[in-house]
Amino acid sequence: MTKRILVVEDNDLNRKLFCDVLKANGFEVEPVADGELALNAARAFAPDLVIMDIQLPNISGLDLIEAFSKDATISDVPILAVTAYAGKGDEDRIRDAGAKGYLSKPVSIGPFMNAVKGLLPA
């Protein structure tokens, strides 16, 4: 069965790149540009994995990750955080919020796909 991935990314080029790469690798993808729509999109789409930008307008990706972990319908979905802000302590804060994986931008395709495949349930 095809794995489903929700991509929460406000940057049009990054969102398109992530979605194109994932589709080319056989995944079903649902793009979301607005973090405020991510929870409802996740409930409707029932993803196997969420790729989450941390720097989103209107809502922090960290807050979203925490909201996902508190929602019983989607709390078990692993989250791969992707961020341009890779300062000291950022990865720890992001993982403490509930992200299972972490990548800093710019993202290379090989490490990106390895991270995606490593987080997806078998």
Residue-range domains of the chain with CATH: 4-119 (3.40.50.2300)
% helix, strand, coil for the chain, step of 5: 45, 20, 35
Are 31 and 15 within 8 A, CB to CB?
A: yes
Q: Count CA within 13 A, CB hemisphere, residue 34.
A: 5
Are 59 and 36 within 8 A, CB to CB?
A: yes
Q: What is the mean pLDDT of the segment spanning 38-58?
A: 95
Are 10 and 34 within 8 A, CB to CB?
A: yes
Quote the CA–CA distance of 44 and 63 in Å, as a whole number: 20
pLDDT band at 84 (very low <50, low <70, confident <90, very high): confident
Per-residue pLDDT at 7: 98
Q: What is the mean pLDDT of the segment spanning 5-21?
A: 97
Instruction: Please state the pTM of the whole predicted model.
Output: 0.96
Q: Which residues contact 62 (CB under 8 A, 6 or more apart)?
A: 54, 93, 94, 97
Pairing of strands 28-32, 4-8: parallel
pLDDT band at 89 (very low <50, low <70, confident <90, very high): confident
Mean pLDDT of the chain: 94
pLDDT band at 12 (very low <50, low <70, confident <90, very high): very high
Are 86 and 103 within 8 A, CB to CB?
A: no
